[in-house]
Structure 1
Amino acid sequence: MRVNHVFTQTMASPEEPVNARLGALLEAFMNRVAHPRGRALAFLNKSSVTVDQAILMDHARTWPGSTPTSLAARMNLSLPSISQMIERLARLGLLRRTEDPADRRRKTIAVTPKARRFLRELQAVRSQEFSAGAAALSPATQKQLVAALARALTELDDAND
């Protein structure tokens, strides 16, 4: 589906909520600037890490002291699925399970230095892919997009504080 078609289609129904149109446009934009090259997916494949596992590691890094239960809830996945991912990532040396000294049944999940390197490299690959995908935009459009995204991220950060 071409972006122009998506834009025309989403703008053609003004009674539709703006967030629904925004969602369709963001999806179309991301599909155009990221997925066609497949560099991030190739990086994950080479590393033997799935998208869900990369997200799990990012959550464990972002929320230190997470437990398998809290990660399962955050990712909206079952505890057995999360436990299997944690086990696999621990075998790869990317996650570490630690017993809570007060309650030995409770395990916290932490990323290892190897996982931190992996996540930095993945972020770099994704950023390069997005930049290459957006390179066809005019400098004026790129500048407007940068300003709009920076404002949006600031608002999201403020809303989560």
Structure 2
Amino acid sequence: MKNIELGKGVDNLQFGMTREEFKAIMGEPDEIEVMENEDMAEDTSEAWHYDEIELSASFDQMEDWRLTSLAVSSKEYTFEGVDLIGLSQQEVMDQIEMLGLGDVSIEELSDDEDNSQQIATLLDVSLNLWFDNGILSEIQWGPYWDEEEEELIWPGEEEE
């Protein structure tokens, strides 16, 4: 089991590490997806996908290509010791409430009656929970955000 740490990462994968540091631990990704923002040339991101372990890592050019988010979709990952993937939306919301992680906003993403998709966002802890047909399918999280400074708080910088 791999334990998700809010604001930090998972196991020895820590937010803020470089692509080289990440690759030294994880090896080559199965796929690299490049996302470019047409409005801002320096706002390019890369999502590295590791299919076998159901993990994706994002690196952003604006953050000097450091690790800015992780997403997992396997039951191998636990959150505060609880395996959330595959639980119903209500069960997940009950866990989130018990952990006192802050306000949750839920957005409906699908317009298809047969397949519903929602995203539950917890801004206070930089966490997104993706639900397909009422079942948690993916957990996505990143470093904490400093509202005053309008910048990411990298692990290890919180104490400063």
Q: Give TM-score, length-normalised by structure 2.
A: 0.27
Q: Give TM-score, length-normalised by structure 1.
A: 0.27
Question: Which structure has more helix as a fraction of its residues?
Answer: 1
